[in-house]
């Protein structure tokens, strides 16, 4: 795994840009993908330490992307943080059941996003 690389999968370019800046300010390198299929291709080549994915994207949604990542041996251990405008208990449960380690509602707080991502990455490294 590439220890400081994070993939951002979101169909909104403004959100990808904002998250990239936030992550780079926190010391990460960020790659962006505009849909689930593009993200899946990048994941298997770049092998990032973490994935931030929106739930609703064209081509392949975030839940499908999580399931694919968890079923791919070379990337199954990366931290996955799902983000969405839908933060009802059902949505959060569905995201976690699909393989996400955490779930944050939009709009995102940059500090909370970085803290949550760092926690998830640490847990994955410790096998928690």
Name the nearest CA neighbour of 12 among 53, 70, 60, 65: 53
Contacts of 57 (CB under 8 A, 6+ apart): 9, 10, 11, 34, 35, 36, 65
Per the confidence metrics, is the pTM higher than 0.85?
yes
Total domain count, the chain: 1
Residue pLDDT, tens place only, 54-99: 998 988 999 999 999 999 999 999 999 999 887 767 788 888 999 9
State the CATH number of the domain containing residue 16. Answer: 3.40.50.2300
For residue 54, the cross-strand partners are 83
Angle between helices 89-97 and 62-70 (to 10 degrees): 30
**Residues of the domain holding 52:** 2-126
């Amino acid at each position: 795994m590439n220890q400081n690389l994070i993939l951002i999968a979101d169909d909104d370019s403004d959100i990808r840009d904002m998250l990239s800046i936030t992550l780079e300010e926190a010391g990460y390198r960020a790659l962006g993908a505009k849909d689930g299929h593009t993200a899946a291709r990048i994941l298997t080549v770049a092998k990032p330490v973490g994935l931030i994915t929106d739930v609703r994207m064209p081509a392949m949604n975030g839940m499908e992307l999580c399931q694919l990542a968890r079923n791919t041996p070379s990337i199954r251990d990366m931290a996955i943080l799902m983000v969405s405008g839908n933060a009802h208990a059902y949505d959060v449960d569905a995201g976690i059941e699909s393989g996400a380690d955490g779930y944050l509602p939009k709009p995102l707080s940059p500090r909370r996003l970085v803290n949550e991502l760092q926690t998830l990455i640490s847990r994955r490294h410790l096998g928690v």
